Amino acid sequence: MAFQPGDKSMLEGYIKAARPLEEMFSVKGKVALVPGGSSGLGFDIALRLLQGGAKVVVASNCETERDAAMPLFEDLGFGDRVRYFFCDVRVEEQVEKLVAFTTETYGGLDILINSAAIWNYAHLNDLPKEDLELVMDTNVNGAFYLVKYVSRWMIEHSVRGKMVLIASNSPWMPYPVFGGYSHYASSKGAVCALATQAAKEFKRYGIMVNAVAPGGMVTPGAAGNLASERIPEEKQDEFYDELMVWQTDGQQPVDEVAIIAYALATPMGDGITGETVVADSGASHNIFRFQPAIDQYPPED
């Protein structure tokens, strides 16, 4: 029977299928894993997940960050729903143990939001092999290991889970003005591709995989982000001079990005998979509060 104009039955079906909005925004009762969650964006993401009602395992390879972050979660009253696990995501065996710890501690695993990453500055023609390998091992291999073991557990236990990988707008928006991020941008481009390919593999299991691509933010990692110590000192100084030439209008708030990652981990993200959600406050479209003055740039000879 064809539906006729004014037939209410289809609209009534929409009403029955519409879940309460409070459920759509909630992660209550879920178990989330946040590598990189002891500092910066990852900390803010873990905070939002805890506020939303999830149990959270925070992981990092820095005990100093742990000592700063975990008491703050406890002071906020989340001590019974958050745990820490030391993990270097570059080491596959440690990632496997991290996933096992999460599932054994809280009895499940519904959400992965990976914020573990590392970077530094060096021009491509000066880039030391060690810096390239460190960035790729952490940002790319680490993400692969996490997706591998989290998806394996979700599939084995029929969990229709969510994975969110923190990427960057740097793969298509090269910066700083005169470069220096080629290894980092390449690694984050790989993260975007990983999200799409993993989504392709896991859709049939009900697992949704996406990436979030922010722009520059004020985080402890960014504040301490320096030129490679392996390049000559004069090249480091030259790089810092170049960093003074800005093409954007400042740093976006960390929580603007954290809340997007959070949203993708809730039922609001049920219809999104394989995407890179650009959350850079318009920078990718050259949308800024102001444009740089010409005299900010070095004069031509």
3-state DSSP assignment of residue 265: coil
128 in a domain, yes or no? Answer: yes
Asked whether the predicted pLDDT for residue 246 surpasses 80, the reply is: no
Q: What total number of domains does the chain contain? A: 1
- Pure H helices in 158-243: 182-202, 220-223, 233-243
In a domain? residue 297: no
pTM exceeding 0.85: yes
CB atoms inside a 10 Å sphere around CB 40 = 22
Question: pLDDT at position 164, please?
Answer: 98
Backbone angles phi, psi at 154, to 5 degrees: -60, -40
Q: 206 in a domain, yes or no?
A: yes
> In Å, how far are 34, 55, 63, 300 from 262, measured between CA atoms?
11, 14, 25, 46
- For 154, the domain range is 27-280
227 or 180: which carries more pLDDT confidence?
Answer: 180
Supply the mean pLDDT for the chain: 89
Of 233 and 245, which is predicted with more confidence?
Answer: 233
Whose tokens are 């519409």? That residue is 18
Asked whether the predicted pLDDT for residue 238 surpasses 80, the reply is: no
Q: What is the pLDDT of residue 161?
A: 98
Q: Which helix (H) or strand (E) holds 129?
A: helix 129-136
Q: DSSP string spanning 13-59?
A: HHHHH---HHHHT--TT-EEEEETTTSHHHHHHHHHHHHTT-EEEEE
CATH code where residue 273 lies? 3.40.50.720
Examine residue 288 and state whether it is found in any structural domain, yes or no.
no
- Structural domain includes residue 300: no
Supply the pLDDT for residue 226: 65
Q: Is 173 part of any domain? A: yes
Q: How many CB atoms lie within 10 A of CB 179?
A: 16
31 pLDDT more than 60: yes
- pLDDT one-digit tens code per residue, 126-169: 888 999 999 999 999 999 999 999 999 999 999 999 999 999 99
Q: Is residue 234 part of a domain?
A: yes
Residue 20 lies inside a defined structural domain of this protein: no
* Residue 2: band (very low, low, confident or very high) from pLDDT cuts 50, 70, 90: low
Residue 247 has pLDDT above 60, yes or no: no
